[in-house]
Structure 1
Amino acid sequence: MAKLSVVIPAVDVMVNGQAYRKVDRKAQAGDIVKALSRSFDVDTGAFYAVEVDASRGVFYRDNVGSRRFRLERTDLHEVYAPVAAAPSETITYENAQYRKVDRPAREGDVVMITEPDDAEYTADEGVSLNQPYLVMRLDSADDPQIMNARGKEYDTAGDVFDVYEKVTRPSVEYREVKRYANVGDTIKMVEDADAGGWLAGDTFIVTSVASDKAVHFTDNDGDGRRRSGTDDYVVLEPIVATTPTYVEVKRKASVGERIKIVAAENAHGKYANGDELTVASDDHLWGEAVRVNEFYQPVLYDREYVVLEPVPAQAIAKPKRYAVGDFVKVTGNSVTHDYAEGSVVKITETKDNARHGGQQFHAETADGERGNWLVTNDVEPATKAEFLAAKAQTQRKPAEPAFSVGDTVKLTVADGGRPCYGWGRVSNGDIGKVAYVSSDSISVDFPKQRGWNAKPEELTKVDPRDAFAEGDKVRLISGGNTSGLHDYETGDVYTVLAPKSPVGNGKVKITGGGQPTGYATPDQLVKLTAEEVAAIQKEAQEAVKWVAIGRKVGEFKRGDIVSFTRTDGDKGVGTVEDGGSFDSAIGVRIGAKPYDGEKYRGVYFDEGDTATLIVPVEQRFDTAA
């Protein structure tokens, strides 16, 4: 049974402790709907939970679990949306903790939309309010791009949302100390920066210290910053672990020794593999078994554990010390460095740093760049051969061309200048698409001239939507009746409402289809030329004439007077003897009446012949009524 048990107070509907409120919009996942009329397995006045199908959209399950779609019928359903509680400061997403922050979203953050720019569009795209979504990337306008329930990208432009950043648990525990920082220390900011660059709680590595003890570091925006005194930060000093290091030994344990469970078999819910326990006594009654301090029953068989033997401090290997000229592979990023993890680099400068494995150092990357400070804990030894291989790979990588096939470009010749290859039929400011790229010239398809050649310096990349303007006539060349284009047919002509609608996920907003608005990507549209628009208008005017006499366009009847031109050069004026349409052919007798005259001509429209209606038979005065 899918019907919900609800409690209805004065205003809201309560379901399992969650309040829902009636809303005037389409249903979306997470809502509930109230059935307004009875049908098979659906009760009038009952509430049902809304789910989403990736291909068919939203639905609910009736009393027997069958899916019910058609939730857009407001005469059949009322929609109730969950009443959002006060935003939590922390949330859990994909088994990770996130905390709410007051800053623009970044890649890897989680956002929760609280107020959509267009609620209907957001619901249609399968995006729910007050639900966490991972930021996949930021677009050119720094708007977060998230993934909707259908696995497609959704643009949050215009939406109001809360931002949450991942809370990372450091592998090393630190204590906060109020003192002057030294080079290599990690400092934690205690207040937000007045001019941006960090928030309270952000951490940075000190790169240098001035004579007045002012510290220098690089902020979140990549800018070098200086801070005097200790009012703005505290120093994070790692807490040195006192837990001894152990090795695992397979033998009989003695009283007081630590053991680790590796093959639990008699646990009864008291212990599991990986647990560490302390031996309390040897159990002679059970034979090869021990009892532990943590519980009396059950006993632990000797085959279930290994003994943890402490390793003397002098036996613990010290970390390797690196020298200038050594090669290392970057394996981590505990100090917010700017080297790519997995890359091999060459050390160019070293300093002692006891808090991060013993050393910190600058290094040269395979492409010759020098980064900021690395530390011992974030690297492992590498070889010169690995570095040279990476360097050779970098040198083989071709430089990216300034323009690529498919780019949208604008002709931007300096005032008073002239294109290298002449103007042709284009004008300064025209927008087209790159068709071919060579070493010193670009071929562009402009609306007025295809294959127009230009020098790279004469072109500027622009947003593909800049090729359109409000009121333009466009033909939809792909994507008809897909998401955002329902009731818009591929091949039909529509009108641009807004080339850069903030709701359209980087798309062009159009109108003229079965729905009031549609959203198409620029590559799904072709802008019509003035000649094409004029031809369409002429066809529309021609259609009005045919409708006025009660006929379909191109419908000829016996007795019509027409002029005709055939592909063999024969032409004339006559009377239709055999009716037809533009889809087939007509027979014309040269004369005023059918069967009156010697010349009969077949006019075959599918072979290129043409005919023009002069007088329809219904309007002729020379024929009997």
Structure 2
Amino acid sequence: MAALKGVKTLDMVGGEITKVSYEGAEYERVVGDAKIGDIIRLTEEARHDVTPGGFYTVRGVRGARVQITDDVNEPHHWDEDYYDLFRKKHRRLKVGDYAKVVEGSDLDEADAGDIVKIIHDDYDRVPFKCDVIKGRRDADYIWAEESDLVLATEAEVAEAKAPKFSVGDYAKVVGDTYHSDIVEGAIVKITDLADGEGDLRFELVGDDDYDYAKPSSLEKVSAEEAKWAKIGRKVDEYKVGDIVAYDDPQWFENKGIGEVTEATDEDNYAGVVATDNGGRRVKYYLLPEKLTLITPVEVRFDRS
């Protein structure tokens, strides 16, 4: 894991950083042995696969020696001469907070890493009633002590609230992708479930291009949206020259085939010329539910 991004300096004394914020939590500079979950700021003298002056999460501790994951995703150990130590400032969790079940919790109803939302606090020995957002008891609730939980990060909450996908589902890209080849707004099809990094593999609808992304970067869409996306359109977006089947007994008094002569307007109507039951060529403005796209104008053989 590379140096942490988004760490903001909140306070300095004598040119030394004493307080920072990261993912919504405040961290204060402390003296003493590190703990797993603390963050360190490496000195400018730190080298070899790290960012001098960068912040890193403590992954392991042996006395004053800490382990981090460096910029090439390898474990790296540092003595206290090469870092300043910062620890998350404690605050009591409150109703509305999202929290994570900690390692070593005595909860029978939840596992370490489960994400919950605190919905009630009665200030008793087991004060927090929590909705389970992601975990063994999804959509259920549990009661937890303060020592069972820590404040969840924004990334953890986003991942927990991300939609659950299956192979064959369609989605819209709404965030970052691994290769950045497929842009936001594109419609894709899920082709493989989460890998070791938690990324889904997907292909661009109507193309062979593929990429990977976290579920939080995708938004489920319907098969209907995907079908229209294959021709580069929104659902029920008709263009001049499209051939459509119409079903409007109120006006045409029959079913048949017509041609769009005015594209879908801001009121969601399309102008269609078709033959009524008397053989007359008539133009009417119809809502999309009266139409079925037969041939998009882009692929009509009678058009150059």
Provide the TM-score with structure 2 as the length reference: 0.36
Higher relative contact order (CA 8 A, sep 6+): 2
Larger Rg: 1
Provide the TM-score with structure 1 as the length reference: 0.20
